[in-house]
Amino acid sequence: MEQQALTENLSLNSSKITGAGDVDAVETALGSLDGVRSVQADPNAHTVTVKYDPTIVNLNLIEERLNSAGYPVDDNT
């Protein structure tokens, strides 16, 4: 019997996500990571929502990929 993949949801803020080009760039950058199931960026809310398998990819890798693509995660402090 096949085991169902584990999926978690994550929402991150990045004030650099402001338009359609940013949405495409973020979705492409994160969508290419192994373990990422879906990516939805919202330029109005400056957020990105990621569904991912935590046994394959983790928050640090997702944040690093966003940062290297030019969309650092905003500090919540």
- CATH code reported for the domain at 8-68: 3.30.70.100
Task: For residues 50 and 61, give the distance between their C-alpha atoms in angstroms, rounded to a whole number.
Answer: 12
**What's residue 77's pLDDT?**
40
The pLDDT of residue 75: 85
pLDDT score recorded for residue 76: 65
Residue 10: its pLDDT value, please? Answer: 96
- Phi/psi of residue 32, nearest 5 degrees: -85, -5
All structural domains of the chain with their residue ranges? 8-68
Q: Do residues 59 and 66 lie in contact, with contact meaning Cβ atoms separated by under 8 Å?
A: no
Phi, psi angle pair for 59, to nearest 5°? -55, -45
pLDDT value at residue 3: 57
pTM of the model: 0.87
If one counts every other C-beta atom within 10 angstroms of the C-beta of residue 48, the result is: 26
Q: What is the residue-level pLDDT of the chain in tens, covering all 77 positions?
A: 555 679 999 999 999 999 999 999 999 999 999 999 999 999 999 999 999 999 999 999 999 999 999 999 998 64
Sole residue written with tokens 């402001």? 18
